Structure 1
Amino acid sequence: MTSVIALATTVTSVLKLTSPLFRPTTHNTHLQAKLAVKGAFFISLIPLVTFVYLGAGSMTNFSTKWEWLNMGLSTLDMNLKFDKYQIMFLPIALLVSWSILEFSSWYMESDPKMNTFSKHLLTFLLAMIILTSSGNLITLFLGWEGVGIMSYLLIGWYNARSDAAVAALQAVLYNRVGDIGFLLAFCWVYKNSLSTSLNYIFSTTPPTILLLAFIVAAASKSSQFMLHPWLVSAMEGPTPVSALLHSSTMVVAGVFLLIRIHPIIAQNQTALTVCLCLGAISSAFAAFSALTQNDVKKIIAFSTSSQLGLMMVSIGISLPNLAFFHICTHAFFKAMLFLCAGIIIHNLHDNQDIRRMGGLYKDLPITTTCMTVGSLALMGTPFLIGFYSKDAIIEATTNSYANTTATLLTLAATAFTAIYSLRLTYYTSMTQPRSNPLMTSSEEHTSVKNPIIRLALGSIIMGPILFFLLFPSFPMTHTMPTFIKLTALIITLLSFLLAYDSAQLTWLKSPKKHAPMKKYDPSFYSLLVHRAFVITTLNSAWQMITHIIEETWASWMGTRALPTAMIYFDRAMQVTHKAMIQLYMGALFITLLLVFSILTMSSLLAMS
């Protein structure tokens, strides 16, 4: 019953969301978009309330199918699936989008194309709803490509800036790697079954190469190690885009794909190990990279990549429910952190360097309070929303038979998260102001306060509620030693104290002259991959082309071919011409005599 209600409410929500897209763009299109998302959010609560009231037994894997293309032996169908993942994710995505659209009406107020921007955000949200409601690979691919196309348009919104255009192109190119993996898996499934249904995949034991193709697709979309640079570059887009892209939409699409196909991943130990190691490396690398950043948006962006790594770790230890739980909790505090960063940047006249902030708790008390709540939730502070999912993942990892190195990397990422979260809060909110004292700051606009307060309340109270909704109610049993149970909390606390002590040291003594920066810089990775590797490849290609075309093709068929042929012809003629004039004249006379004789004989024969 709950699934049928979910179908009806999802269709109603989609129709409500699409209504502003088909209306002419006017001065109040952004208001229509906000009201549409707000109404869709309250509609999406109906199946969730039904699920809570009737219990988990009312939730069945209900799906609908429409024939899209009939090719005789096979058909391509559009299939939608409604389960607990769909009915829980939809209200969260709509709530976050509602807050972001309301915030963008203030943040993008001076943009002449703000109404078009609101339509782009709505289309982006619709593509994500299609992706999370998909029941086969065709529908999933439509949503997959939809979020990719809209991310290109939104990241490159300020297309007059070269950095924004390059960042949008970079996002497309990195995501094409994932698209190749997805299409290879799609072709394999269709070739072997003439169907794109996920149920067929679940009924077979697919080869490891198919699962690796799916993992590559997920790693590209969810910004895992080696495919992560596009996520940080996406900060060139407007702050509302960063908030929506990094919280509950595009970046979690890859993890959501693996959650959908987890029944077959769980049967393949190689695939599980790849997910575990990839997630652990990504989480530790991104958290370590965030320590070296001074751009407030890039710190939050690297934290997103780190949390996505944690979701991959939970997939690797065969706990997809925990990965989905962290997707839901992560959406609240990450969207709030980006919105708070946008408020600070806007009030400081586009300053994004945390070293030039400080003391903002006096001018922006609501914003700094919400940012502190978001940072504490990101760290996994007890009883905030991040604690319930993040701590559960750490506990499950330390209590599993997972690779020891992967476990240690995950714990290191937890420690680094506490350090950069405190660093972010300390440099923006605490200490003395380091910005221009003539700047005036304000957060009194309702479109500024309401979204971040709404998300802050969600970050405080939604943890146990989501836990109750996602996991069955059963008595909790203590199955591990206390020191292991408290591992994540102890590491977070120690890292917090270490970070605070390190931050205090910066105020004890100022250096007389600037010391050279001798620290790890994640841009070294970009220089290696985007510059050194590319230059080496292009130089090798240039040398190869030079030898093949200029030395071979040009010599035999091009501009140097005729002179070369003339030289060879001249040499051949020199062999027969020895400057013997009498011999040449005799040969010419004999030839002419023979020709004359033949012509004379022909004439006589003709007359007779």
Structure 2
Amino acid sequence: MDVAIVALPLLGALIAGLGNRRLGDRGANWITSGLMLVSFVLSWIVFLRYDGNPRVTELFTWFESGTFEASWAVRVDQLSAVMLVVVTTVSSMVHVYSIGYMGHDESKPRFMAYLSLFTFCMLMLVTADNFMQMFFGWEGVGLCSYLLIGFWFHRPSANAAAIKAFIVNRVGDFGFALGIMGVFLLFGTVGFDAVFAATPEKVGQTFHFLSWDVDILTTLCILLFIGAMGKSAQLLLHTWLPDAMEGPTPVSALIHAATMVTAGVFMVCRLSPMFEYAPDAKMIVTIVGAATAFFAATVGLVQNDIKRVIAYSTCSQLGYMFFAAGVGAYGAAMFHLFTHAFFKALLFLCAGSVIHAMSDEQDMRKMGGIWKLIPWTYGLMWIGSLALAGIPFFAGYYSKDIILESAFAAHTGAGTFAFWLGVSAAMMTAFYSWRLILMTFHGETRADHETYHHVHESPWVMLAPLIVLAIGAVFAGFVYYDKFVGETMEAFWGASILFAEGNEVTHHAHDVPTWVKLSPLVVGIAGIALAYLFYMFRTDLPARLAGTFGGLYRFLLNKWYFDELYEAIFVEPAKRLGFGLWKGGDGAIIDRLGPDGIANVSQDVARQATRLQSGYVYHYAFAMLIGVVILVTWYLFGSGW
């Protein structure tokens, strides 16, 4: 069963990708979606029936060279079982949703094959038994994200976004690869169990770099976390995520809501036996996560593209997960990953339903007044937003609150920093969530007459997946609270997560002061109220504030100018260097002296030779006479030469 969960999406990708002409659109839809749904059902069976005993199904030896050995295996423990449920649930719903959303696209089999291939790579990542297999899945989802973001390759913006995602992820992946190399160098193996068992023995060991003695475990964990920063769009390596909205909306829901971007969070939790012995690395994880949560929330306040608002929300929520892991609350990080998968995928697919209804319009400034025309989408968007804002008793209320409580309970400088930035981000999250709802669905319509006239509800093949995800957005929180972060969490997680010193942080989180527990709810309600004031009762206020604080507004609208900064520091110098090497090196030196030089000499010789072909008989007779003179001279005097 474990192997089937992973293999079925690959089978669907191969059938749809290689046989798309024979299968046609309908065949590709049925095969990929059907196999994905089977994998979804099997994943839930594994999750619900898991007995607490980890199992590894080794398929074959992948690499074997000297002392280096890596197998291809399927590892199922509680951590991977949770991820199997998350990945297959979201992916299967996206597959079904895509049947309707991509109904008019000319390349549906290719799209469905890409979705299934991506799912296979993600499943290989979460069931990996060693660093090498994890790296395979890691790079596989990166490749598939490139294909899916750039699926509409006839659009220059989609091509640019795909390349940007690929390159930025390579920056993080370089750190990840160095970390894996360092792990093998230090431990002599890349198998998780062997590395985790030997980690306590490596505490305190250092290596000399330049003039410093650097802690080895801290260095390795930081390098591995750099990989997580790229894949999970954390601050400094986040710039690819908003641009990735150029891909079809189902891609946004699959990749940027619940699967690929959570790979970094999963990786940090999987490597908890290493991070727990590297407190400085954990502090860096906490600070980066908290800064990301705050930064992305500020940018989300002013975005006008409906998908970009949700994209920055994803970036912000990933920050919550990371700073939870950074303070040692790995169960809380995974709990938020679990609940977030449902309500964020729901929000993205609801946004796709709105775009579908609005004839592909994505600018919220050109919407409004449509809630009665698409009531199902409107109601489901409310459910997703309530869960995202952390309103009782939706899923996000339970998972976000335990993260903030854990950060406060850590009683560290980094934990306190994360708590206050997290509370601030919670208020902004509630504000921009209702800003999205009010601008999109309420007030007088700002759409042109023709677009508004054609607004219609999505077909049931698109609505049914939304309902399934909405059930998770409502019930996933309180149903699984005790298992993930409650009294039974040690028994639930077992050995899949290291609970250092009884995981005091998560236990103490339940005993924080009442004001700490109430603060996320209070600021969330305040954010919603402020959104109603701005976009329902005093609609002149947003424009007045933007005019009064023009510099701040432009700063946020331009995403803190990270793209412009990177353009000036990295992109433009690289372009100038490349242009100089091309023109000055390759063109002026190599080509001139090499291929182009030889060709030019040949052309000159040929050009001179053509002058002899004048077409006049006396020229040819004169040339013949000269030839005869030369031959006679050689004959008469040649022996003397």
Give TM-score scaled by structure 1 length: 0.83
Tell me if 1:62 matches 2:55: yes
2:394 corresponds to 1:384? yes
2:42 aligned residue: 43
Contact 1:297 1:352 in 2 (8 A): yes
Match in the other structure for 1:448: 462
Higher alpha-carbon deviation: 503-512 or 321-330: 503-512
Residues 255-266 of structure 1: matches in 2 within 5 Å? 255-266=265-276
Q: Distance in 1 between matches of 2:81 and 2:417?
A: 36
Residue identity matched to 1:487: S
Q: Distance in 2 between matches of 1:406 and 1:339?
A: 30
What letter is aligned with 2:531?
A
The answer (yes or no) to whether the contact 1:80–1:136 under 8 Å persists in 2 is no
- The 5-angstrom pairing of residues 456-467 of structure 1 reads 456-467=470-481
Contact 2:377 2:457 in 1 (8 A): yes
Measured in 1, the distance between the counterparts of 2:13 and 2:576 equals 49
Alignment correspondent of 1:290 = 300
Question: Which segment drifts farther, 355-364 or 497-506?
Answer: 497-506
Within-5 A mapping of 1:427-576: 427-438=439-450, 439-443=453-457, 445-471=459-485, 473=487, 479-504=511-536, 506-507=538-539, 518=551, 519=553, 520-534=556-570, 537-538=573-574, 541=577
Q: 1:398 aligns with which of 397, 408, 414?
A: 408
Amino acid at match of 2:164: Q
What amino acid sits opposite 1:178 in the alignment? G
**1:29 partner letter:** A
Please say if residues 2 and 76 of structure 2, whose CA atoms lie closer than 8 Å, have aligned partners that are also in contact. no
Q: What is the Cα deviation at residue 183 of structure 1?
A: 1.0
Larger deviation, residues 497-506 vs 451-460: 497-506
2:189 partner amino acid: S
Change (3 A) 1:369 1:543: closer
CA spacing shift, 1:338–1:198, aligned 2, 3 Å: same
TM-score, normalized by length of structure 2?
A: 0.79
Match of 1:486, SS state, is: helix
Q: Could you tell me how far apart the structure 2 residues matched to 1:534 and 1:89 are?
A: 36
Q: CA deviation at 1:474?
A: 5.3
The 8 Å contact of residues 395 and 487 in structure 1, kept in 2 or not, is answered as no
What is the match of residue 149 of structure 2?
Answer: 155
Q: Which amino acid aligns with 2:329?
A: L
Residue type of the alignment partner of 1:467: Y
Q: In structure 1, the residue corresponding to 2:407 is in which secondary structure?
A: helix
Partner-residue secondary structure (3-state), 1:434: coil
Output the CA distance in 1 between the equivalents of 2:529 and 2:535. 10
User: 2 CA distance for matches of 1:505 and 1:443?
Assistant: 28
Q: Report Cα offsets for 1:50-85 as digits up to 9, x if no partner.
A: 23xxxxxx3123224332233244423224321111
CA distance, structure 2, for counterparts of residue 267 and residue 509 of structure 1: 51
**Secondary structure of residue in 1 paired with 2:302:** coil
CA shift in 2, pair 1:336/1:190, >3 Å: same
CA contact 1:395–1:488 (8 Å) conserved in 2: no
Amino acid at match of 2:80: Q
| CA distance in 2 between partners of 1:410 and 1:92 (Å) | 24
Deviation, structure 1 residue 44:
1.9
1:81 is matched with 75
Equivalent residue, structure 1, for 2:88: 94
The residue correspondences of 1:595-606 to structure 2 (distance < 5 A) are none
Note the alpha carbon deviations across 1:205-243, whole angstroms, 9 max, x for none: 343211110110100100000100100010000001011
Q: Which amino acid is the alignment partner of residue 409 of structure 2?
A: N
Identical-pair percentage: 33
**Distance in structure 2 (CA, Å) of the matches to 1:444 and 1:531:** 40
Gap change, CA 1:402 and 1:354, over 3 Å in 2 = farther
Kept in 1, the 8 Å contact 2:12–2:32? The answer is: yes
Contact 2:32 2:116 in 1 (8 A): yes
* Cα shift readout 1:382-432 (whole Å, capped 9, x = no counterpart): 110111101111111122213233332121111111111110111112222
Classify the secondary structure of the residue corresponding to 2:403: helix
1:180 is displaced (CA, Å) by: 0.6
Residue 417 and residue 341 in structure 1: after superposition, are their counterparts in 2 closer, same or farther (change >3 A)? same
**Cα distance per residue 1:466-514 (max 9 Å; x no partner):** 32443464599962322122111112122222222222354368989x9
Q: Which amino acid aligns with 2:420?
A: L
> Is 2:173 aligned against 1:174?
no
SS at match of 2:557: coil
Which one of the candidate residues 10, 23, 35 is aligned to 1:18? 10
Matched residue SS, 1:363: coil
Give distance in 2, aligned partners of 1:69 and 1:398. Answer: 45
Among candidates 104, 108, 115, match of residue 102 of structure 2: 108
Work out whether residues 332 and 484 of structure 2, in 8 Å CA contact, stay in contact via their aligned partners in 1: no
State the match for 1:591 in structure 2. Answer: none
- Which shifted more, 96-105 or 14-23? 14-23
Distance change (3 Å), C-alpha of 1:241 and 1:300:
same
Structure-2 residue corresponding to 1:423: 435
Tell me, what secondary structure is at the counterpart of 1:361?
Answer: coil
Contact 2:14-2:113 within 8 A present in 1 as well: no
Amino acid at match of 1:89: M
Output the aligned Cα RMSD. 2.8
Aligned position for 2:374: 364
Structure 2 unmatched ranges of 5 or more: 203-215, 490-506, 595-641
Q: Structure 1: any 5+ residue segments left out of the alignment? A: 1-8, 52-57, 559-608
* CA 1:542–1:374: 2 relative to 1, 3 Å: closer
Q: Deviations over 1:6-63 (max 9, x none)?
A: xxx2212234333333432212211211111112212222222323xxxxxx312322
SS at match of 2:372: helix
SS at match of 1:383: coil
2:30 matched residue in structure 1: 31
Distance 1:297 1:468 in 2: 33
Query: Are the structure 2 counterparts of residues 536 and 105 from structure 1 closer, same or farther at C-alpha, using a change threshold of 3 Å?
Result: closer
1:69 maps to a residue whose letter is F
User: Matches of 1:524 and 1:399 in 2, distance apart?
Assistant: 31
The residue identity in structure 1 corresponding to 2:478 is P
Partner residue in 2 for 1:569: none
Distance change >3 Å, CA 364–CA 77, structure 1 → 2: same
Aligned mates of 1:405, 1:474 — CA distance in 2: 29
SS of the residue corresponding to residue 449 of structure 2 reads coil
| Alignment partner, residue 245 of structure 1 | 255
Instruction: State the aligned residue count.
Output: 540
Supply the distance in 2 between the matched residues of 1:393 and 1:470 (Cα, whole angstroms).
12
CA distance in 2, matches of 1:528, 1:440: 39
- CA spacing shift, 1:500–1:113, aligned 2, 3 Å: same
3-state SS in 1 of match to 2:152: coil
Give the CA deviation at 1:279.
0.4
Are 1:152 and 1:172, in contact at CA under 8 Å, matched by a contact in 2? yes
Question: Is this contact kept in 2: 1:80–1:139, CA < 8 A?
Answer: no
For the residues of structure 2 that align with 1:49 and 1:535, how far apart are their CA atoms? 49
Displacement of 1:543 after TM fit?
A: 12
**The 10-residue stretch of structure 1 (31-40 or 236-245) with the greater mean CA deviation from structure 2:** 31-40
CA distance in 2: counterparts of 1:498 and 1:258, whole angstroms: 36
Instruction: Point out the structure with max Rg over C-alpha.
Output: 1
CA contact (8 A) 1:155 1:164 kept: yes
**Structure 2 CA distance, aligned partners of 1:480 and 1:67?**
49
Aligned pairs (5 A) from 1:220-235: 220-235=230-245
Structure 1, 114-123 or 486-495: larger mean CA deviation: 486-495
> Distance in 1 between the 2:579 and 2:32 partners?
55
| 1:539 to partner: Cα distance | 8.7
